[in-house]
Amino acid sequence: MAPRIIDQLVDHILLTPFGAFDEDVLTAAKMRLIDALSCAVSGAGAAGNDALLEVIRALGGAPQASVVGSAEKLALPYAAMVNSLQIRSFDFEVCGPEPEGINAGKMVGHVASTTEAVALNVGEFLHSSGEEVLAAVVLGGDVAARVSVGNTFNFDADFEVCGTSNAFGAVAVAGRLMGLTRDQLRNAFGILLNLMAGSYQGIWDGVPSFKLPGAMAAFNGILSCQLSVAGFDGVRDALESRLGYFSLYTKDPHPSDMTADLGSTFYVRGQHKLHPSCYGNHNPIDCALEVRREHKFDGDDVEHVYLDVLPKRIDHFLNQVPTADDLQPKFLFSIPYGVANALYRGRPELEHYSEPAIYDPMVLDLASRVTLRPNLPSGKTHAIRLNILLKDGRQLEFFRETPIGWLEDPVGFDDVVDKYWRNIKFNGTLPQPQAERALDLIRKLEDVTDVADLANELSLP
């Protein structure tokens, strides 16, 4: 009889040696950390984050772990929660890690917004070595991605994947770093089953609560491990029991996909965004930038923009035109705004997705003249055909299937470092020498003896 999936995952998390990771795997993990942790810096003080921090601060508690980009220290689960919220604030952080082999192409989501925050703060609290944290990042991301591919992803039918898959990844990261036993880790997953949730409605409504599923996953993952170590008992099998994960959280379960090539192929490579906002905006943005560069015009010259997309993009949160009455998150998930912003301002920057730039009347007016049409009968999810009608009568067209940064068109290490500095510059409070030292520590993380040093460099005195 084959071992239960939960037992296979537990052994994978606890027994995989650091020597199992080759240089490419470790480089991919470092790129994710550089990307995500710099997004934690840029997200400090973003919409809704100060309100959460104020509430948590009022609760009190031991100052156990750092909030990136600030001088704040909070109890461990809360610090990871706030850092995850900051990472997610501009939807700029790395996506994935992406599955490979038989699961290649399946949707995973924003795992790193949770797992990298947990790795930093648990590693800081325990004074873990860089090698230990790297191993936890690889294995936590791998487990979270595998939980995702155990279901057919559906924005309209599922719980928010950041609140479910990410939570499993958070338990994996914390459990590995905390040195849980097999029984304790299995039990931690059982405790987690009664904690996770989340809805995509926050994205539809464009409200700061869209960030909470991944942030709560960080909190719940650490709490589950702490409770398990303290002797609190949870569900015996979090995945395959009668009312376990597969029964409650998956509309189209594929249990065997979760363990395909387990231990031989690590899902570790991220899809690194070069622009703030949802990845669904990036192909339209990049096409708009390309046409703008080639034909030398700007937003004032545009009469109308048409985007031919797959039919499933029409009744979709990305096909919403924001107004001056909307909150900042609405702009992160709007193709019309993303295209209008690119045509007026060029390469999207974090400033463009912040107040007051999001309320520029010229950009909002052009966004109202960006129309999505269901004219692509088939193809890749992100495929678009861009048609721009200029006021001088010219009609410009551009087609592309895959956005930059996708695994089919990956960016390099230097691109991620450049993104790191864009995040640091936007935040404006972390001194450059500190940011340089933090980047250097991540580059050589396997040689770092205490990850608290990294957390200190990413925080204010």
SS3 labels along 228-296: HHHCCCCCCCCCCCCCCHHHHHCCCECHHHHHCCCCCCCCCCCECCCCCCCHHHHHHHHHHHHHHHHHC
What are the angstrom distances between the C-alpha of 65 and each of 120, 138, 223, 288, 459?
A: 9, 22, 14, 42, 10
Domain co-membership, 348 together with 449: no
In a domain? residue 434: yes
Among 399, 378, 400, 373, residue whose Cα is nearest residue 316: 373
With a cut of 70, which residues of the chain have pLDDT below it?
none
426, containing H or E segment: helix 413-427
Q: What are phi and psi of 227, to 5 degrees?
A: -65, -40
| Chain position carrying tokens 């459990």 | 175
Domain co-membership, 350 together with 233: no
Distance of alpha carbon 436 from alpha carbon 38, whole angstroms: 12
Tokens for 461? 């005195």
Domain co-membership, 295 together with 368: yes
Q: At what angle do helices 49-59 and 76-87 cross, to 10 degrees?
A: 180
CATH number at residue 242: 1.10.4100.10
Coil, strand, or helix at residue 383? coil
Beta bridge partners of 373: 308
Distance of alpha carbon 37 from alpha carbon 86, whole angstroms: 9
- What one-character-per-residue DSSP string does 109-137 give? -BTHHHHHHHHHHHHHHHT--HHHHHHHH
Domain co-membership, 254 together with 163: yes
Tens digits of per-residue pLDDT, 273-317? 999 999 999 999 999 999 999 999 999 999 999 999 999 999 999
Domain co-membership, 91 together with 237: yes
Domain co-membership, 288 together with 430: no
Domain co-membership, 303 together with 435: no
User: Could you list the residue range(s) of the whole structural domain that residue 363 is in?
Assistant: 279-400
Domain co-membership, 316 together with 357: yes
In a domain? residue 405: no
Half-sphere exposure of 252 (CA within 13 A, CB side): 7
Distance of alpha carbon 320 from alpha carbon 44, whole angstroms: 27
In a domain? residue 283: yes
In a domain? residue 170: yes
**Total count of domains within the chain:** 2
Residue 227 has a pLDDT of 98
Residue 217 and residue 196 in contact, taking contact as beta carbons nearer than 8 Å = yes
In a domain? residue 207: yes
Buried b (16+ CB within 10 A) or exposed e, 281-317: bbbbbbbbbebbeeeebebeebeebbbbbbeebeebb
Domain co-membership, 30 together with 83: yes
Residue 378 has a pLDDT of 81
Tell the burial category of 212 from Cβ atoms under 10 Å away from its Cβ (0-12, 13-18, 19+): buried
Residue 320 and residue 334 in contact, taking contact as beta carbons nearer than 8 Å = yes
Distance of alpha carbon 130 from alpha carbon 119, whole angstroms: 10
Domain co-membership, 168 together with 309: no
Tokens for 359? 């309320």
- Is cis: bond before 356, omega within 30 of 0? yes
Domain co-membership, 212 together with 348: no
CATH number at residue 317: 3.30.1330.120
Distance of alpha carbon 313 from alpha carbon 230, whole angstroms: 47
Residue 153 has a pLDDT of 81
Sign of the C-alpha dihedral, residues 158, 162, 166, 168?
negative
Domain co-membership, 350 together with 251: no
Helices (H) and strands (E) in the chain, counts: 18, 6
Tokens for 429? 């409070």
Q: Which of 354, 372, 400 is the last residue of a domain?
A: 400
Radius of gyration of the chain (CA): 21
- Is cis: bond before 329, omega within 30 of 0? no
Coil, strand, or helix at residue 411? coil
In a domain? residue 33: yes
Residue 379 has a pLDDT of 81
